[in-house]
C-alpha cells in the first residue's frame, strides 16, 4: 500500500455501484484445491432475495453474540429483513433501474417500526432494519413514543419518471425529549398514522450522517442540486463508539435542503464485549468467511509471513548507526516498542544475495493476521484481515494502448494491505466487506460480493501495488474521460491464498489478555526505508522512450503526483494506519 496517488487525480474510474452491479451474482462451487472465480455473471435484481451461498454454521455457544436481540439500555432492538414494498421509482439511480422503499413486516410481538428501508433495484434484496421495544416498564419515562406529527420531506408527484404510483417521504416529528431515527414512506398523500413508527428517547440517540453510499436520485448519478437518498451511519465511528444505526436511509434535498435530521440509536449499556464473539466464535467466523486472495499471474512480489521475512534476513536500522543493522528475532521481540511513529527506526531487505529472493515473498508460508473490533455500538464485528508483502513493485501506467512501468516510482519494502469483513452481531451473517485500495477503499455489500467458494469472498490483489478489489480487471486511476492513468491490474491467474488456512488472531482488545499481541505489532517504526530518488532523472529516462503526444500525457500523470508523495515517507505497520481503531473511511 503505497500512500500514493488516489486523491490527487481529480478522480477517477473506479468501482462504485454501477460497475459492481455488472459483476457477479454470488454462487457456490464445490471445495477443491483451487477455485477459479468468474466475474462474468450478471447480478440479479431486486426481485431476487439474496442469500449467502452456504448455510451459516452453528456458532459455538457463549455470550450475546448472534443472540437475535440486543438490549441498548431499556430499548431492546431486533432486526427484520422481511419487507413489504411501499413504493418504487423505476428510473434514476444505478443503471437507471430505480430503487424500492419498504416497511419491515413480520415484526416480532411487542416491537415497533423505527423507520423504513430502501435499496437500489439493480441488486438483490438484502438488508435489514431495526425494530424496537421499550423494556423499561416505566410508563412515566418510556424509551419509545409515537410521533406527534409528520412533515412531508419529499414526494414524487412533481417528477416525471417511471414509478409505481407516487411515493411520499415523511419525517416523524418527535415529542419533546425524543428523536426520530427513521423516515416513513407512504404511497398516498395522506399523513401516516401516528402508530406507524416510534421515536426514541434522546439519551438513547447519537448523531447520524450519510454514509456516502448512494441509493437513489432521479438522475443516473447523484447530482448535488437534486433530491438524493443515501445509506446512513453514526457520525462518531471510532472503535467502541456507541452510535448504532437502524439500517435506514437519509435524504438530501438539493443544496441547502432539508435540515430535519434523523438520529442514530445509541448503546447506553456500553458493555460491547458481551455482544462480541468469543475466541471460539472468532475461529468459526474466520473459517466461515476468510477472504480468498487472487494474485495476478505476473505478480513477482507475493506475501510472506512476518516471521519468514524476519528469519530470511530482514534488518532493523537505526538512524545514526546505519552501518550496523540488526537481524530481527522471529516474532519481532527485539524490535523497538516505542509506541509512537518513530522515524528513527526502519526495516530493510537483507544486504546479501538473498535480497531478490526475499522480495518475492513466500506464498506457501504466508499468514493472514486478524484484528477483531466492535463497531457501531456493538451491532457489528469488524474483522480486519492483514497481509504482509516484503516488497511493493513499481507503479504502472497506461497511456492509451501502451503500458509503462514508472521505474522506481511506487516501489518500497514492507507493504501491509488489508480487507475488512463486517459481521452482523444479531446473527453472525456477513454484512459487507471493505477493500483497501492505495490510501482509499470501497465498501461492498455481501449481496454484491463474488464468493470464491462457500461463504468466502474473493479478493483480487493488484499487480505490484497489492490494492484489493472485489472483481478482476483493469482499474485506471487518473483524470476522468481520458485513456490515461496509473493502472491496477487484477486477474485470477492461479496464485491464490485462503486467508483462513494460516490465520492468526493478533489483536482483539475487547477480549483483554486472551489475545497476546505479537511484539512486531507494537513496532511503530517504518517497515521499509524512506525511498529517495531523483524524480527528474526518473522522468527523463522514461520520456526518452516516448514520443510526441505521449510525452505530454505522461508528464500530465506524473505532475499530478505531489512531490511529497514521491519522496516516500516509508511504510508503516497495521497499528499506525489511521483506521486501526476507527471505521474504514
Ligand X SMILES: *[C@@H]1O[C@H](CO)[C@@H](O)[C@H](O)[C@H]1NC(C)=O
Contact 213, 94 (CB under 8 A): no
Q: Shortest approach of ligand X to residue 481 CB, angstroms?
A: 21
Residue 32 and residue 453: Cα distance in Å, rounded?
9
Rank residues 440 and 533 by Cβ distance to ligand X and give the closer one.
440
Q: In the complex, what is the shortest distance from the CB of residue 60 to ligand X, in angstroms, rounded to a whole number? A: 26
User: Which residue, 88 or 566, is less far from ligand X as judged by CB?
Assistant: 88
CB atoms within 10 A of CB 280: 12
Name the phi and psi angles at 157, rounded to 5.
-55, -40
Taking residue 501's Cβ as centre, other Cβ atoms within 10 Å add up to 12
Q: Strands, E, within 235-303: which ranges?
A: 243-244, 249-253, 263-266, 292-295
CA 43, 48, 49, 55 torsion-angle sign: negative
- Given the C-alpha cell 437534486, which residue does it identify? 226
**Shortest Å, Cβ 324 to ligand X:** 3
Select the residue interacting with ligand X from 242, 244, 452, 486 (CB under 6 A): 242
The one segment of 8-16, 21-29, 236-244, 520-528 that binds ligand X by CB under 6 A? 236-244
Stretch touching ligand X by CB under 6 A, among 197-205, 238-246, 272-280, 421-429: 238-246
Contact between 409 and ligand X by CB under 6 A: the answer reads no
473 lies in the binding site for ligand X (CB under 6 A): no
Name residues whose C-beta falls within 8 Å of residue 497's C-beta, 6 or more positions apart in sequence. 292, 293, 295, 303, 363, 366, 368, 387
**Contact region for ligand X (CB under 6 A) — 18-26, 89-97, 104-112, 329-337?**
329-337
Is 311 a binding residue for ligand X by CB under 6 A? The answer is no
Closest contact distance (angstroms) between CB of 12 and ligand X is 16
585 counts as binding ligand X under rule CB under 6 A: yes
User: Strand 243-244 to strand 263-266: parallel, antiparallel, or no bridges (unpaired)?
Assistant: antiparallel
Q: Pick from 439, 504, 522, 560 the residue near ligand X by CB under 6 A.
A: 439
**For residue 565, which phi and psi values (nearest 5 degrees)?**
-75, -30
Residues linked to residue 233 through DSSP beta bridges, in sequence order: 209
Cα dihedral angle (11, 17, 20, 25), rounded to 10 degrees?
Answer: 170
Q: How far apart are CA 249 and CA 87, in angstroms?
A: 15
Return the C-alpha torsion angle 495, 500, 505, 506, nearest 10.
0
Alpha-carbon gap, residue 46 to 39, rounded angstroms:
19
Q: Is 238 in the site for ligand X (CB under 6 A)?
A: yes
What nine digits make up the cell of 119?
435499496
In the complex, least distance from residue 150 CB atom to ligand X, rounded to whole angstroms: 7
**Which residue's CB is nearer to ligand X, number 52 or number 131?**
131
Instruction: Tell me if 271 contacts ligand X by CB under 6 A.
Output: no
Question: Other CB atoms closer than 10 Å to residue 471's CB: what's the count?
Answer: 23
Pair 2, 462: CB distance under 8 Å: no
Closest approach, Cβ 155 to ligand X, in A, equals 13
CA 469 – CA 457 distance, rounded (Å): 11
489 binds ligand X (CB under 6 A): yes
Residue 164 touching ligand X (CB under 6 A): yes
Q: Is 155 in the site for ligand X (CB under 6 A)?
A: no
Q: Which is nearer to ligand X, 479 or 582 (CB)?
A: 582
Q: Which of 271, 333, 344, 354 binds ligand X (CB under 6 A)?
A: 333
Q: Which of 49, 189, 321, 540 touches ligand X (CB under 6 A)?
A: 321
For ligand X, give the closer residue by CB, 26 or 245: 245
Closer by beta carbon to ligand X, 438 or else 456: 438
Q: Which of 112, 113, 380 is nearest to 242 (CA)?
A: 380
Q: Which of 307, 488, 498, 583 lies at the binding interface for ligand X (CB under 6 A)? A: 583
Give the one residue of 141, 326, 344, 540 binding ligand X; rule: CB under 6 A.
326
The interface region with ligand X, picked from 215-223, 247-255, 557-565, 577-585 by CB under 6 A, is 577-585
Nearer to ligand X, 201 or 418 (CB): 418
193 binds ligand X (CB under 6 A): no
Binding site for ligand X (CB under 6 A): 84-86, 149, 151, 164-165, 187, 236-238, 240-242, 298, 321, 324, 326, 329-331, 333, 401, 403, 439, 489, 516, 519, 578-579, 582-585
Amino acid at each position: 500500500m503505497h500512500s500514493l496517488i488516489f486523491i490527487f487525480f481529480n478522480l477517477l474510474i473506479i468501482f462504485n455501484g454501477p460497475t459492481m452491479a455488472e459483476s457477479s451474482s454470488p454462487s457456490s462451487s464445490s471445495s477443491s484445491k483451487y477455485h477459479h472465480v468468474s466475474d462474468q455473471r450478471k447480478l440479479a435484481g431486486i426481485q431476487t432475495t439474496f442469500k449467502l451461498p452456504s448455510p451459516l454454521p452453528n456458532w459455538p455457544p457463549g455470550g450475546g453474540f448472534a443472540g437475535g436481540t440486543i438490549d441498548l439500555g431499556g430499548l431492546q432492538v431486533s432486526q427484520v429483513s422481511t419487507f413489504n414494498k411501499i413504493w418504487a421509482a423505476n428510473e434514476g439511480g444505478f443503471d437507471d433501474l430505480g430503487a424500492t422503499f419498504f416497511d419491515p413486516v413480520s415484526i416480532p410481538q411487542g416491537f415497533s417500526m423505527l423507520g423504513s428501508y430502501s435499496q437500489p433495484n439493480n441488486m438483490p434484496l438484502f438488508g435489514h432494519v431495526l425494530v424496537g421495544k421499550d423494556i423499561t416498564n416505566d410508563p412515566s419515562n418510556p424509551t419509545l413514543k409515537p410521533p406527534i406529527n409528520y412533515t412531508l420531506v419529499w414526494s414524487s408527484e412533481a417528477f416525471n419518471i417511471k414509478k409505481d404510483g407516487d411515493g411520499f417521504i415523511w419525517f416523524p416529528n418527535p415529542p419533546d425529549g425524543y428523536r426520530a431515527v427513521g423516515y416513513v414512506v407512504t404511497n398516498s398523500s395522506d399523513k401516516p398514522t401516528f402508530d406507524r413508527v416510534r421515536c426514541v428517547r434522546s439519551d438513547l440517540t447519537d448523531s447520524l450522517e450519510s454514509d456516502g453510499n448512494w441509493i437513489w436520485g432521479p438522475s443516473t448519478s447523484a447530482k448535488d442540486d437534486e433530491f438524493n437518498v443515501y445509506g446512513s451511519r453514526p457520525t462518531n465511528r471510532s472503535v467502541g463508539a456507541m452510535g448504532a444505526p437502524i439500517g435506514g436511509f437519509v435524504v438530501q434535498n438539493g443544496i441547502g435542503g432539508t435540515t430535519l435530521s434523523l438520529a442514530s440509536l445509541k448503546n447506553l449499556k456500553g458493555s460491547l464485549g458481551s455482544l462480541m464473539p468469543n475466541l471460539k466464535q472468532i475461529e468459526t467466523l474466520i473459517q466461515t468467511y476468510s477472504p480468498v486472495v487472487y494474485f495476478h499471474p505476473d505478480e513477482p512480489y507475493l506475501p510472506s509471513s512476518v516471521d519468514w521475512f524476519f528469519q530470511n534476513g530482514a534488518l532493523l536500522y537505526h538512524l545514526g548507526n546505519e552501518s550496523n543493522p540488526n537481524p530481527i528475532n522471529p516474532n519481532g521481540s527485539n524490535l523497538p516498542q516505542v509506541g509512537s511513529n518513530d522515524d528513527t527506526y526502519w526495516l530493510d531487505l537483507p544486504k546479501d544475495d538473498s535480497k531478490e529472493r526475499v522480495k518475492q515473498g513466500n506464498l506457501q508460508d504466508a499468514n493472514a493476521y486478524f484484528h477483531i473490533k466492535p463497531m457501531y455500538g456493538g451491532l457489528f464485528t469488524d474483522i480486519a484481515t492483514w497481509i504482509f508483502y516484503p516488497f511493493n513493485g513499481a507503479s504502472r501506467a497506461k497511456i492509451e494502448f501502451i503500458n509503462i512501468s514508472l521505474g522506481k516510482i511506487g516501489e518500497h519494502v514492507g507493504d501491509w494491505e488489508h480487507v475488512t469483513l463486517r459481521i452482523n452481531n444479531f446473527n453472525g451473517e456477513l454484512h459487507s466487506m471493505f477493500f483497501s485500495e492505495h490510501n482509499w477503499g470501497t465498501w461492498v455489500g455481501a449481496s454484491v460480493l463474488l464468493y470464491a467458494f462457500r461463504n468466502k469472498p474473493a479478493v483480487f490483489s493488484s499487480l505490484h501495488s497489492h490494492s484489493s478489489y472485489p472483481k478482476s480487471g483493469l482499474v485506471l486511476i487518473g483524470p476522468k474521460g481520458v485513456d490515461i492513468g496509473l493502472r491496477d491490474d487484477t486477474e485470477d491467474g492461479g496464485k491464490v491464498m485462503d486467508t483462513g488456512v494460516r490465520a492468526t488472531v493478533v489483536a482483539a482488545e475487547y477480549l483483554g489478555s486472551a489475545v497476546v499481541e505479537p511484539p512486531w505489532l507494537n513496532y511503530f517504526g517504518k517497515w521499509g526505508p524512506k525511498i529517495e530518488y531523483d524524480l527528474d532523472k526518473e522522468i527523463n529516462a522514461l520520456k526518452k522512450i516516448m514520443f510526441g503526444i505521449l510525452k505530454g500525457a505522461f508528464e500530465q500523470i506524473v505532475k499530478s503526483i505531489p512531490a511529497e508523495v514521491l519522496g516516500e515517507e516509508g511504510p508503516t505497520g497495521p497499528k499506525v494506519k489511521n483506521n486501526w481503531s476507527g471505521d474504514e473511511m
